[in-house]
Amino acid sequence: MNPIQGLIPEPSRITTLKGKFTLDNNVIISWVGAEAESTAFLRTEYLRTATGFTLPLEAGLNGTIQLRWRGLHLDVCRHFFSVKEVCRFIDLMALHRLNMFHFHITEDQGWRIEIKKYPKLTEIGSIRKATLIGYMNDRPRKYDNTPYGGFYTQDQIREIVAFAAARLISVVPEIDMPGHMAVAITAYPELENTGAQLGIRTTWGISSSVLNIEDSTVDFIRDVLDEVMDLFPGRFIHIGGDESPKQEWSESHRAQERMVELGLKSEDELQSWFIPKRNERSELVHSRMSEGKAWFHTPRLCRGTGSRLSDSGSR
């Protein structure tokens, strides 16, 4: 046995055997513990509805889960999936004993979650007019010229969260900021820095547009996240943060004024101010952190195993 380092642990017991076994609806699955019970039930249901298949028996395995965070990511912004498809995805996660569903629901190419205080996010932002065919660097670029998209109502989000919870899976929503907000800026131009008219992106890659740093924009983020926190009872919210070009801020007179007001030396420090840890206005949102919520953004993810997540400074 040569497990992938840090991801597939050595089994606690392995016995070399000979012969074969058949997986069908007569298989008996045993378990110890609540999480294992859920997995056993799902696997039993899977086998019950399957026709059965036979595999060579090379070894018998008995092991335990060692990683607390066993996640899988689904981007529904570039490519939209129905509630039924999302639930099927969650079912497959449970079958493989994964427990953290990273739900990527906002992007430059589409806004997928209903926010009642800002209805234009989905009225305008859920449908793009076309989609790039092929890769970003293909030349000449070709588009399908077909409107594409969709979004989840808040009731549908609750349905997905409940479906996941029944399978002992936590849903981690991703609301990117201050970059990857072209859709929000298109729907609400007052969030923009330069006065340019944006549109929902039909290509991939990283947009140069970022949110401005006005108090009204902080209020927008606070309001959006208030509704998001009401819908997702899990501990974590992902806020992206790794792909936020600073050119607009460096060329914005207002952003440069704000840096002076705050005693900041660079646009990188301005982004750190924007992220809730540093922004006193945003702490109005984070009075709810006492409920056990925690922020994290991409640079905070541990490289390699992904088995740990530091909470320090992200609450």
Cα–Cα–Cα angle for 278, 68, 227, rounded to 5 degrees: 45
Which residue among the candidates 35, 214, 227, 243 is catalytic per the annotation?
Answer: 243
- State the helix-helix crossing angle for 215-231 and 154-165, rounded to 10 degrees: 50
Residue 142's DSSP bridge partners are: 133
| Rounded-to-integer distance, Cα 8 and Cα 165, Å | 24
Which structure tokens are listed for 283? 């702490």
Q: Does the annotation mark 45 as catalytic? A: no
Hey, which residues are catalytic here? 243
